[in-house]
């Protein structure tokens, strides 16, 4: 970028920053304008990387996705880079990119995962203390990755908390049996122990805290 061989993507209105790449562990996301200069630079950098590191870049596992870029141009570029054409939405590092987090369907994988885990546990063989430990240190961690990046709708938060409350704090039959009696309401469950609660974190406040938006 300093040599003018790659054109990044400008973000911001006042303090404009030119973004060229993001990295997470061994995963690299290259971001730039749709120009043949960028295509040639990316190709050159990756080939030089192979020579210097003695590692092989797997172009077949790489994906090129365009935002407001014609399909014909993307097809030409992928033939040069020997990679695949990507499309929105797609999954990146386990997160759905290009879908609306305000819609309930976006959060379906989290709800499905929670139901799957709970359905495999034998509730009647768990003590109250055991259920509480599983809730606080296992189940409460399941949605953390998603809510670290996206604000969950109120309906999603309610659905998750209802599943937790239904499994851990209702007396009655097995999983899926609606004939139960609530031991304690969810508001009391989430109160601090010094206030008579069980110290279970509230997902809404936890979501807001993770996003850093008050």
Complete DSSP assignment for 9-20: EEE-SSS-EEE-
pTM for this predicted structure:
0.70
In terms of residue numbers, what domain contains 157?
A: 97-211
Most confident of 61-65, 167-171, 174-178: 61-65
Kindly tell me if the per-residue pLDDT of 178 is higher than 70: no
Shared domain for 71 and 116, answered yes or no, is no
Q: At what angle do helices 108-120 and 154-168 cross, to 10 degrees?
A: 0
How confident is the model at residue 148, as a pLDDT? 93
CA dihedral (38, 40, 42, 46) in degrees, to 10, reads -170
**More confident: 20 or 87:** 20
The residue among 53, 69, 87 that closes a domain is 87
H helices of the chain, where?
36-53, 71-81, 108-120, 128-137, 144-147, 154-168, 186-189, 203-211
Alpha carbon distance 107, 112 (integer Å)? 9
CA distance 144 to 132: 18
Q: How far apart are CA 159 and CA 110, in angstroms?
A: 11
Higher pLDDT, 212 or 151: 151
pLDDT digits (tens, 9 = 90+) for 83-138: 999 888 888 888 888 889 999 889 999 999 999 988 888 766 778 788 888 888 88
Domain finish residue from 58, 87, 116: 87
**Residues 198, 103 share a domain:** yes
Assign 214 a pLDDT band (cuts: 50, 70, 90): very low
The whole-number pLDDT of residue 95 equals 86
Residue 82 burial (CB count, 10 A): 12
Reply yes or no on whether the pLDDT at 177 is more than 60: no
Q: How far apart are CA 189 and CA 68, in angstroms?
A: 48
- pLDDT at res. 173: 44
**For the chain, what is the domain count?**
2
The alpha carbon torsion through 85, 89, 91, 92 (nearest 10 deg) reads 80
Q: Do residues 113 and 131 both lie within one domain?
A: yes
Q: What is the pLDDT of residue 176?
A: 53
Beta bridge partners, 142, equal: none
């Amino acid at each position: 970028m300093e040599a003018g061989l790659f054109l990044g993507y400008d973000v911001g209105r006042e303090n404009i920053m030119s973004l060229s790449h993001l990295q997470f562990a061994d995963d690299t996301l290259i971001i730039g304008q749709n120009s043949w200069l960028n295509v040639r630079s990316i190709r050159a950098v990756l080939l030089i990387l192979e020579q210097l590191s003695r590692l092989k870049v797997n172009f077949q596992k790489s994906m090129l996705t365009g935002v407001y870029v014609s399909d014909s141009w993307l097809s030409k570029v992928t033939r040069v880079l020997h990679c695949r054409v990507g499309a929105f939405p797609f999954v990146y590092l386990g997160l759905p990119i290009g879908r609306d987090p305000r819609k309930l369907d976006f959060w379906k994988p989290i709800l499905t995962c929670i139901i799957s885990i709970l359905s495999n546990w034998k509730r009647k063989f768990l003590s109250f203390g055991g259920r509480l430990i599983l809730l606080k240190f296992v189940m409460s961690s399941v949605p953390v990755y998603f809510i670290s990046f996206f604000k969950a709708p109120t309906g999603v938060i309610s659905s998750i908390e209802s599943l937790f409350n239904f499994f851990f704090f209702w007396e009655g039959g097995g999983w899926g049996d609606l004939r139960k009696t609530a031991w304690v309401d969810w508001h009391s469950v989430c109160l601090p122990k010094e206030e008579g609660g069980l110290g279970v974190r509230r997902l809404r406040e936890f979501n807001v805290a993770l996003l850093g938006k008050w």
